[in-house]
Amino acid sequence: MTSNRHNTIFEGVDFGTVLLYVLIVIAGWLSITSASYDESVGDLFSFSHFYMKQLVWIGAAWVVALVVLLLDVRYYHMFAYPAYFLGLAALVAALLFGREVNGAKAWFEFGSVRVQPVEFAKIATALAVARVMSNYNFSIDRSGDLFKVGMVICLPLLIIVLQNDTGSGIVLGSFLFVLYREGLNKWLCIPVLIIAALFIFSFLLSPMTLLVSMILVCTLSEAMMSGRWRSRIVYLASLALGSILLCLVVQVVAPGSLDLYHSLLIVTLLSLLVVVVHAFRANLSGTFISLGLFIGSLVFLPTTDYIFNSILKEHQQNRILSFLGVINDPQGIDYNVNQSKIAIGSGGFWGKGFLQGTQIKYGFVPERHTDFIFCTVGEEWGFVGATVILALLCLLILRLMRMGERQEEPFGRIYCYCVAAILLFHVLVNVGMTIGLMPVMGIPLPFMSYGGSSLIAFTILLFIAVRLDASTRQFTFNKF
């Protein structure tokens, strides 16, 4: 039986998701009010207050949300590629002609209004990824198709890194989770994790310790895949014993000719040659995977110094070293994080109350209304308030994933998961850096941090997913 109801703008809309969005935005506005309220300004409604400016952006964002819901759902599929290339053009224009803010040349300035194109480029990239992966002949198992998706993601990422806005660029790496959801082979995800781990551990471990660790990890991973535990343990023991003996012989016969690290490297390469011959003869695929990871790691390790010293800026280097505990500068690079943790810790269980946060009120926490907005929540609303905010954000992300699962078209499913991945990455990094679990990257907390570009972009990002989901639900309702 077919329904005779006329479609309306709100038909099929997931009001639970919209309610979560509204609650988070209101909580963000209250936090911005606490963080930016200045008693010296007599007029509460003066636009010199950040919370009044944010109120205007909230109104604009809600109007934009209505426009997004009014548009025909086919437009998002139709104009995905034009939006993507427009986003690339805006990023290039910002790189060439934009204004530099906090070391990143990533802003356009129109009078008193600043616009950050990267926030809108995330939307365009999500649409383009969904469009590429939803083509009827796309297969994630084909290297050519996977290369196309990789290029769609990496082109804006490269431009953003050139703008010196590495934190925003890394957000696009969250699409790896979308690829995994769509069937990407897990063994293609592991090299990315290994690269990140090697980059981190190269600062913490000596070369010899890192090499031995790599041998151990690769050998044990191969043992897990093949089930040959005893033979691999014997191999490890033999390799360690042979390495020690060779090093001792070299030091006795030719003192000073080879250091311990190079001796171990020679033994490792000889051992790998033996393993390769054995793998060819026994046709052991797991061994080839482990060898590939190990050799790739050996090739990558020498490049970490170049990446760290030549590509990353000094403040980015200091943030990484501070996060890893290599350096300690409580009055310098560590100041923001230390003050943030003090503010959150001082909030206790219930918090100090609205407008009562001393760390926030007296300006001890820099960027307290933007990147460090979560410490305002922690100090004034305490553990309870912070838990509620995190719960709202997590529920929003879970509802997006649920939206994705009920989509009948791949485009909608992939896009919903792209939005969920972006929001999840922002929440993890932003909250993590305020409590010292992540390095400071300078990315906002979705829907809560001050900023018009951020709020409107996140609103568009979310409500496109809501509109795609509403279209699916309208189709389902109208079948009965």
Cα gap 286→283, rounded to integer Å = 9
CA angle 202-203-207, nearest 5°?
45
Asked if residues 395 and 144 have their Cβ atoms less than 8 Å apart, the reply is no
Domain residue ranges of the chain, discontinuous segments joined by +: 15-193+321-478, 205-312
138 vs 313: CA distance, rounded Å? 39
pTM (whole model) above 0.85: no
- Indicate the Cα dihedral angle 456, 120, 367, 171, nearest 10°: 130
What are the pLDDT tens digits along the chain (480 aa)? 344 444 566 788 889 999 999 999 999 999 999 888 777 666 677 777 788 899 999 999 999 999 999 998 889 999 999 999 999 999 999 988 888 877 778 888 887 788 889 999 999 999 999 999 998 888 888 878 888 998 999 899 889 888 888 788 888 888 988 998 888 877 666 666 666 666 666 666 666 666 666 666 665 555 555 555 555 555 555 555 555 665 666 566 656 555 555 655 666 665 555 555 555 555 555 555 555 656 666 666 666 666 666 666 676 677 677 666 666 666 666 777 888 888 888 888 898 888 888 888 777 777 778 888 999 999 999 999 999 999 999 999 999 999 999 888 899 999 999 999 999 999 999 998 888 888 778 789 999 999 888 999 999 999 999 999 998 876 655 555
On whether the CB atoms of residues 68 and 391 are closer than 8 A, the answer is no
